Chain A
Amino acid sequence: MRRSPVLDFVTGLFVLAGLGAVAYLSLTIGGLSYRGPGGLTLYAAFDQTGGLKTRAPVVISGVKVGQVSAIGLDEHYRARVTLDLDGSLKLPVDTTASIVTAGILGDRYISLQLGAEEQLLKPGEEIGFTESALILERLIGKLVHNADIGKSDGTDKEGGQP
């Protein structure tokens, strides 16, 4: 049987490289590292999330400051979204959270607009001002509906004139 220390060393290196690759995939690519301590956890209730997914980014002025860690229902059956944010953020209590879309068909993410209030949101508090996702189909539906009403109003007027 071979008993060469060089081969043992190479084998050890191989195992280390393999474990390193596993760690890289789990931490950097799999996003396991983001749930570190010292973060700021906030909640926000929305009427409509429109296909927001967990791990969707949370941005301020387009810069990523955290991610959505959970989406559930609250006692009023509104969507309750848990936001995992950077611990160093100082957000005023009148901050607005809105669900927006990247492009027309792109992914949903949450954008925060800061308010002007002096008082700051504490960890675990709920963001009071929210804007729900815009559902394109509903918007078109409303538009068509309104157009129909407008048209029928017009014919009524024409019919009433003579």
Chain B
Amino acid sequence: MRAPIEALGRFVLRFVDELGRLAGFAVSIARALLTPPIRLRAFVDELFKLGVLSLVIICVSGLAVGMVLSLQGYNTLVRFGAEQSLGAVVGLSLVRELGPVLTALLATGRAGSATTAEIGTMVATEQLDGLRMMSVDPVDLIVTPRALAMVTVMPLLSALFITAGLFGGYLVGVGLMGVDGGVYMTSLQSAVDFRDDVLGSLLKALVFGVLVGLIATYRGYTSAPTSVGVSSATTSTVVVASVTILIFDYFLTALWGV
């Protein structure tokens, strides 16, 4: 009888403990960010790895999502004779939800897991200990540029995803289904509002960037120094970050109040 309650208690304690460690980790990143030296070189290198290398998957996914959204939307709307609202359907879905969320999920899989694996391997091969021996703070040199690059890259990738999606939607809606191009763009532009939609979308992407950056670096930094430890840390990054993104998405949407 006691065993399941004990297990529950252990789980909650471990969760709270982990949350506290994560918060402490975030504080040490913030401190490294605010105190010199500024690691600009490392930051730009990470921008390349996290941003440019994710560009192809983001654009292709955006295009595909926009196209299928347009196709589905058209087939549903045409039943009500409302296919002139296709632009609004595609635009609002992409800008409000699919853009930031899918970008964050893709970036987690593409860049977050790579970051965890990289830092985890450094832990396993005692590179971080080596840095500490030379009295270089690994949080400052290794972790902070990666976390900051993830935060920077996410809104940019999300905006590119949405733009690719709108283009894909236009391609199918106008090119394939024969909706008038002007009607599509008018419906798109009159439905999407700057403050309610675009700003909220960028804010979401920014928050997701912070979450993914924090979780990915934390998991790598605290991974067990074995090959099993690195692989389970990588898995855990993808699982935890994906679930956190989806949960935060709900609350961000609710709080933005539209």
Interface residues of A (CB under 8 A from B): 1-3, 7-8, 10-11, 14-15, 17-19, 21-22, 24-26, 28-32, 55-57, 107
> Given A14-B51, A14-B55, A22-B159, is A31 in contact with B42 using a C-beta cutoff of 8 Å?
no
List the B residue with the shortest CB-CB distance to A8: B44
List the B residue with the shortest CB-CB distance to A32: B194
Interface residues of B (CB under 8 A from A): 41-42, 44-45, 47-48, 51-52, 55, 91, 95, 153, 155-157, 159-160, 162-163, 166, 188-190, 192-194, 197-199, 201-202
- Do residues B163 and A21 form an inter-chain contact, with CB atoms below 8 A? yes
26 A-B interface contacts by CB (under 8 A): A1-B41, A1-B42, A1-B45, A8-B44, A8-B48, A11-B48, A14-B47, A14-B51, A14-B55, A15-B47, A15-B51, A18-B157, A18-B160, A19-B156, A21-B162, A22-B155, A22-B156, A24-B159, A25-B163, A25-B192, A25-B201, A30-B194, A30-B198, A32-B198, A57-B190, A107-B190
Query: Which residue of the partner chain, among A1, A11, A22, contacts B202 with CB atoms under 8 Å?
Result: A22
- Do residues B190 and A29 form an inter-chain contact, with CB atoms below 8 A? no
Between A and B, how many residue pairs show CB distances below 8 Å? 81
Collect the chain B residues with CB atoms within 8 Å of residue A10's CB.
Answer: 48, 52
- Do residues A21 and B198 form an inter-chain contact, with CB atoms below 8 A? no
B interface: dominant SS: helix
Task: Please name 18 further chain A to chain B contacts, defined as beta carbons within 8 Å, in addition to the given A14-B47, A14-B55, sorted by A numbering.
Answer: A11-B48, A11-B51, A14-B48, A14-B156, A18-B156, A19-B156, A21-B156, A21-B160, A22-B155, A25-B201, A29-B95, A29-B192, A29-B198, A30-B194, A30-B197, A31-B189, A55-B193, A57-B190
Collect the chain A residues with CB atoms within 8 Å of residue B199's CB.
Answer: 30
